Amino acid sequence: MKQRTIAKAIKSIGIGLHKGNPVEILLEPLEADMGIQFYRTDLGITIEATPNNVVDTKMATVIGKNGATISTIEHLLAVVYSYGIDNLRISLNSSEVPIMDGSGASFCMMLDEAGIMKLSANKKIMIIKKNISYKDGKKWTKISPSAHAEYDFTIDFNHPVIQKQKYNFIFSKKDFIKDISKARTFGFLKDVQALRSMGLALGGSLDNAIVLDDKKMLNSDPLRYQNEFVRHKILDAIGDLSLMGMPIIGKYESFAGSHSLNHILTLEILKDKENYEVKYFDKEYYNAYSKVFA
Ligand SMILES: [Zn+2]
């Protein structure tokens, strides 16, 4: 299987979740082995999408380099990963990827419009060889060897609309678009009020997040999936783990995981070369995974 980029450049505009300002996003093709690169047009700084460039994971996944940062990269990256794109330049004129509708749906539309271009270089995949886990109190995250690319997430919120939700997702592009890409980010009204007082979440609204008070959902439009909350956590996990830079064959599992736990997991994987194997996506793997990473 060959590496991919997009067939033509595509532009869009949206609102940054935290600053609330309009942000222009431009996706452009890149040559083989260049990876996913973010570029701050206002500062002239390139930030490669790699685990080592992650500088913050509290509210969203943030990468940074030479004083420049880009926040909320995870939904866009989940879509780029799921479309099998290995090389892409993402230019932004501000410090946030636009939040769009709080899901990956708008980015799917952008990539559908841009089209996929195959490059001549071979694609690589990462095969997980050992169990790697990280625990933080009751929260944990783990990756283990598997024949699939699999994501299994459980959340347990003491809230009547969410409660306990568990979702097991066997990855494929088709199922990602159908079952994961439309799941929106969510937050609690009391947190939104606290964030606003700190000058954050200024762009947050019922158009780009599911917002809950103590008892109910405030949005008038219904949930897109009955368990949209846990599906969104899988969207986040796919985006966060995509920083590894290639398709991952293994089973990811988490209970109450977060961007922070996902980031630590990527660093734990990379700590020891025995944990994984990087292979060209050649005949042997092509037969096993060509449908998964179509
Ligand atoms: Zn998210």
What domains are defined for the chain?
A: 2-122 (3.30.230.20), 125-289 (3.30.1700.10)
39 to 43, 59, 67, 252: CA distances (angstroms): 8, 21, 13, 29
Can you give the three-state secondary structure of the chain, one letter per residue?
CEEEEECCCEEEEEECCCCCCEEEEEEEECCCCCCEEEEECCCCEEEECCHHHEEECCCCCEEEECCEEEECCHHHHHHHHHCCCCCEEEEECCCECCCCCCCCHHHHHHHHHHCEEEEEEECEEEEECCCEEEEECCEEEEEECCCCEEEEEEEECCCCCCCEEEEEEECCHHHHHHHHCCCCCEEEHHHHHHHHHCCCCCCCCCCCCEEECCCCECCCCCCCCCCHHHHHHHHHHHHHHHHHCCCEEEEEEEECCCHHHHHHHHHHHHHCHHHEEEEECCHHHHHHHCCCCC
Per the CB < 8 A criterion, the answer to whether 257 and 279 are in contact is: no
Predicted confidence (pLDDT) at residue 285 exceeds the cutoff of 80: no
Confirm if 125 and 1 have CB atoms less than 8 A apart.
no
Quote the ligand 1 centre to 46 CA distance (angstroms). Answer: 23
Q: In this structure, which residues have their CB less than 5 angstroms from ion ligand 1?
A: 185, 236
Q: How far is CA 54 from CA 62, 120, 240, 275, in A?
A: 6, 30, 10, 21
Q: From the CA of 284, how far away is ligand 1's center (Å)?
A: 34
Residue 13, CB half-sphere, CA atoms under 13 Å: how many? 2
Percent of the chain with pLDDT strictly greater than 70: 100
The answer on pLDDT for 127 being more than 90 is yes
What's the pLDDT score for residue 199? 86
pLDDT band of residue 165 (cuts 50, 70, 90) is very high
Instruction: Catalogue the active-site residues.
Output: 259
Ligand 1 centre to CA of 127 (Å) is 25
Among 31-40, 62-71, 195-204, which stretch is predicted with the lowest mean pLDDT?
195-204
285 CA distance to ligand 1 middle (Å)? 31
Cα of 232 vs centre of ligand 1, distance in Å, is 6
The pTM (predicted TM-score) of the whole model is 0.97
pLDDT of 13 reads: 97
**Centre of ligand 1 from the C-alpha of residue 235, in Å:** 7
How far is the centre of ligand 1, averaged over its atoms, from the C-alpha of 51 (Å)? 17
